[in-house]
Structure 1
Amino acid sequence: MSLDHRLTPEHEELRRTVEEFAHDVVAPKIGDFYERHEFPYEIVREMGRMGLFGLPFPEEYGGMGGDYLALGLALEELARVDSSVAITLEAGVSLGAMPIFRFGTQEQKQQWLPKLCAGESLGAFGLTEPECGSDAGGTRTTARLDEATGEWVINGTKCFITNSGTDITGLVTVTAVTGHKPDGKPLISSIIVPSGTPGFTVAAPYSKVGWNASDTRELSFSDVRVPAANLLGEEGRGYAQFLRILDEGRIAISALATGLAQGCVDESVSYAKTRRAFGRPIGANQAIQFKIADMEMRAHTARIAWRDAASRLVHGEPFKKEAALAKLYSSEIAVTNAREATQIHGGYGFMNEYPVARMWRDSKILEIGEGTSEVQRMLIARELGLTD
């Protein structure tokens, strides 16, 4: 396939629109939300009015009729300024709404997607458990079908769930063991649990290193009852469904990581031009120039990687390896760029009033969430035919 990733006029217009929004609306306000560990409802509402939560979904469900490339462009531009806002969009779209769009019935799509696409409601993705992270097949949450009432009865715990406890969270799609195969392996299914369902408890927000203006919680389910019709897709196909969702989500995370890496370049260039030492701007020193040149090289390469994976997805081509490559590379160079940007800023880089301090704190989770760097290397090796 062609690797020409020049943007169409429509994609470029979207990119510019989100770039302006990020600099004019997000940048002046987000630092205060971040320091207060407060979810930025007003910013999220504006993102909803812009149609960002509906970017990759058809118009019939309230979406914008765009594609995954459009979502990635929006995420990159947001993350150049702030990752908390970007991850709220990423999780709301690729983890909250996308499972319903990919695997839901027509009734489920009509019920949930319009509000999710409008940003009036947020969806969450309940996969990770306290003793089950990278080993998603080790799910311990259970769901049994009560034949007498026609309801699923869910028990278990989920952790590190983004968008799960906001005032506008509408649902969490959870994976749960609903039976066992003849060989004893668990049948994992996906079930939609609306917020406020009795027995569904949302814990207080975590105290996190970064992403402090986003919502992340632990969830518990104690005899939670939801209608049998809340099963998402086929029973026993939940694990396979979420593997597909995670493959797509890695492209989105890669776009977000690229944005953070580019934001580090932006801030470092600006600082290097204005900060003076020994009678001249520090950007006149070759050591600083080379640092920033390497940072730009990394961000540029990461951008090519995620756009390549997104293009393959949009064109219906295999993209699993390319998504893993993009996620692995972009997340690791985001950490590197954040470290270098902090070094360039010197003591000011350690002060929270400077965006690079926020970027440094936000970068590390990118090597962990939606598949650790180790998992990405495992997936890449497997796609290359290296199996045990």
Structure 2
Amino acid sequence: MDFRLTDEQRLFRETLRDFVDTEIVPVAREWEQSGRYPTEIVEKMKQLGLFGLAVPESHGGLSADTVSFALAFEEISRGWMGVAGILGSHSVSCFMLARHGTEEQKRRYLPELATGARRTGIALTEPGAGTDLQGIRTTARRDGPDGDYIVNGTKMWITNARYADPLPVLVKTDPSADPAHKGMSILLVEAGSPGFEVTADIGKLGYKGPESCEVVLTDVRVPASQLLGGVEGRGLQQALSSLETGRINIAARSVGIAQRAYDEALGYARARTAFGRPIGEFQAVEQRLAQIAVRLQAARLMTYWAASRMDDGVRMDTESGMAKIFASEQALECAIDSMRIHGGYGYSTEFEVERLYRDAPLMSIGEGTNDVLRGVVAKALLAGKATIR
């Protein structure tokens, strides 16, 4: 087993690390606390081609391997996890469009999505349906001689909602279908469509920077050509297959949070003195610092392992689920231990660690809650679809 990065991956990481250290780290705390949208950072990400991570080279993207994809989210989250969210939803949607879209849909959208001239997200969750996507109530009925869809419903927690064009929306094209997933489809709803309204930004504990919005669709007319893949009834499968990359993205973001927690704890343990010596020389602090390092490195290796499995071309929903579960929980533990090393200063908004503590819990919720993913992993193991050896 070779756990080393390739020369290309190392160069990519160095480029990202320099970008994060110069463009994100110096402004993250101030901008996050003031609620300022990171416009300048987004523009720099466009210049670096990061909006094309999941777009094939044939359509102008980077077509990044999955390990490099993970590296991008790890490094950006080390600086500011919220900024990584802007790329996260966009990349999941690009991956879905590249894998499942019609040729005309790919030609129309992917080149501009790759440059960031267009941005996107994905509208799955509703007020009464989060983890249980088959319980959504947003409907799309056919109307008129061209068979356009008329869409009605509400979506919640939509990242990039104010910038997405198009926004893929999971709908029920056949609400009476049994099982429900056979009546579900994804429509690519363009910004500015009459009846499409972003009504509110949802207040959050952390994950600040990108907006998380409620989206209301009232008699929105969507051309039949905007049906993802051109065939009804495949929407849930299209969404779930794309969330495999989303779980790698969340696992990698978790590693970024854990890395920053370690960096802050190590620096503070070296600089802070008590009783005439650095607190890092006290055994209690040594033990906690070592535990952060162990958790961080284990989470990183599991995330890279799952990413490499995807690059091998195998189905890796079990591996990505395992990596997401483990890395997200380690991120929170690392943030808490870093806060403990900081003592009272860890609770202060003047230090980075309190933001890490607020950002980390989302990692165990996003892209499928950890409790649900444990069930998914267990079922795969029991059915013999995954083997741990």
More displaced stretch, 331-340 vs 115-124: 115-124
2:332–2:361 CA contact under 8 A, matched in 1:
yes
1:103–1:232 CA contact under 8 A, matched in 2:
yes
Q: Which among 21, 42, 62 is matched to residue 44 of structure 1?
A: 42
How far 1:182 sits from its partner (Å)? 6.0
Alignment of 1:177-192 (within 5 A): 177-180=172-175, 183=178, 185=180, 187-192=183-188
Alignment of 1:154-193 (within 5 A): 154-166=151-163, 169-180=164-175, 183=178, 185=180, 187-193=183-189
Task: Measure the CA separation in 2 of the matches of 1:179 and 1:245.
Answer: 22
- How has the CA–CA distance of structure 1 residues 262 and 244 changed in structure 2, closer, same or farther, with 3 Å as cutoff? same
SS in 2 for 1:371: coil
More displaced stretch, 49-58 vs 133-142: 49-58
SS in 2 for 1:81: helix
Task: Measure the CA separation in 2 of the matches of 1:208 and 1:180.
Answer: 32
Task: Measure the CA separation in 2 of the matches of 1:7 and 1:289.
Answer: 29
Q: Which among 328, 335, 341 is matched to residue 344 of structure 1?
A: 341
Q: What letter is aligned with 1:194?
A: E
How far 1:87 sits from its partner (Å)? 1.5
C-alpha offsets along residues 185-224 of structure 1, whole Å, 9 cap, x if unaligned?
Answer: 3500000001111100102211110011111101010000
The equivalent of 2:194 in structure 1 is 198
SS in 1 for 2:314: coil
Q: Which among 202, 214, 229 is matched to residue 218 of structure 1?
A: 214
How far 1:319 sits from its partner (Å)? 0.9
- How has the CA–CA distance of structure 1 residues 342 and 176 changed in structure 2, closer, same or farther, with 3 Å as cutoff? same
State whether structure 2 residue 370 is matched by structure 1 residue 373. Answer: yes
**Structure 1: gaps of 5 or more residues:** none
Task: Measure the CA separation in 1 of the matches of 2:177 and 2:124.
Answer: 24
The equivalent of 2:381 in structure 1 is 384
Question: Would you say how many aligned residue pairs link Structure 1 and Structure 2?
Answer: 382
More displaced stretch, 319-328 vs 36-45: 36-45
SS in 1 for 2:215: strand
2:59–2:111 CA contact under 8 A, matched in 1:
yes
More displaced stretch, 186-195 vs 9-18: 186-195
C-alpha offsets along residues 215-240 of structure 1, whole Å, 9 cap, x if unaligned?
Answer: 11010100001110000022100011
State whether structure 2 residue 20 is matched by structure 1 residue 22. Answer: yes
2:139–2:175 CA contact under 8 A, matched in 1:
no
The equivalent of 2:107 in structure 1 is 110
The equivalent of 2:51 in structure 1 is 53
2:134–2:180 CA contact under 8 A, matched in 1:
no
Task: Measure the CA separation in 1 of the matches of 2:63 and 2:371.
Answer: 35
How far 1:147 sits from its partner (Å)? 3.7
Task: Measure the CA separation in 2 of the matches of 1:9 and 1:324.
Answer: 28
SS in 1 for 2:122: strand
The equivalent of 1:308 in structure 2 is 305
SS in 2 for 1:64: coil
The equivalent of 1:241 in structure 2 is 238
The equivalent of 1:251 in structure 2 is 248
1:253–1:366 CA contact under 8 A, matched in 2:
yes
The equivalent of 1:287 in structure 2 is 284
The equivalent of 2:87 in structure 1 is 89
C-alpha offsets along residues 279-316 of structure 1, whole Å, 9 cap, x if unaligned?
Answer: 11111111111111111111111111111111111111
How far 1:184 sits from its partner (Å)? 6.3
State whether structure 2 residue 60 is matched by structure 1 residue 65. Answer: no
Task: Measure the CA separation in 2 of the matches of 1:33 and 1:195.
Answer: 27
Task: Measure the CA separation in 2 of the matches of 1:157 and 1:223.
Answer: 12
Q: TM-score by structure 1 length? A: 0.95
SS in 1 for 2:141: strand
More displaced stretch, 30-39 vs 369-378: 30-39
C-alpha offsets along residues 62-83 of structure 1, whole Å, 9 cap, x if unaligned?
Answer: 1023222111101101111210
State whether structure 2 residue 326 is matched by structure 1 residue 326. Answer: no
The equivalent of 2:387 in structure 1 is none
How far 1:90 sits from its partner (Å)? 1.5
SS in 1 for 2:25: helix
The equivalent of 1:4 in structure 2 is 2
1:164–1:217 CA contact under 8 A, matched in 2:
yes
C-alpha offsets along residues 146-173 of structure 1, whole Å, 9 cap, x if unaligned?
Answer: 142431110000001111114xx32210
Task: Measure the CA separation in 1 of the matches of 2:294 and 2:254.
Answer: 14
The equivalent of 2:274 in structure 1 is 277
SS in 2 for 1:324: helix
Task: Measure the CA separation in 2 of the matches of 1:312 and 1:246.
Answer: 15
Task: Measure the CA separation in 1 of the matches of 2:313 and 2:200.
Answer: 41
SS in 2 for 1:123: coil
- How has the CA–CA distance of structure 1 residues 184 and 64 changed in structure 2, closer, same or farther, with 3 Å as cutoff? closer
How far 1:386 sits from its partner (Å)? 6.0
SS in 2 for 1:244: helix
1:150–1:227 CA contact under 8 A, matched in 2:
yes
The equivalent of 2:203 in structure 1 is 207
How far 1:121 sits from its partner (Å)? 2.2
Task: Measure the CA separation in 2 of the matches of 1:370 and 1:254.
Answer: 10
How far 1:180 sits from its partner (Å)? 4.9
Q: What letter is aligned with 1:366?
A: M
Q: Percent identity between the aligned chains?
A: 40
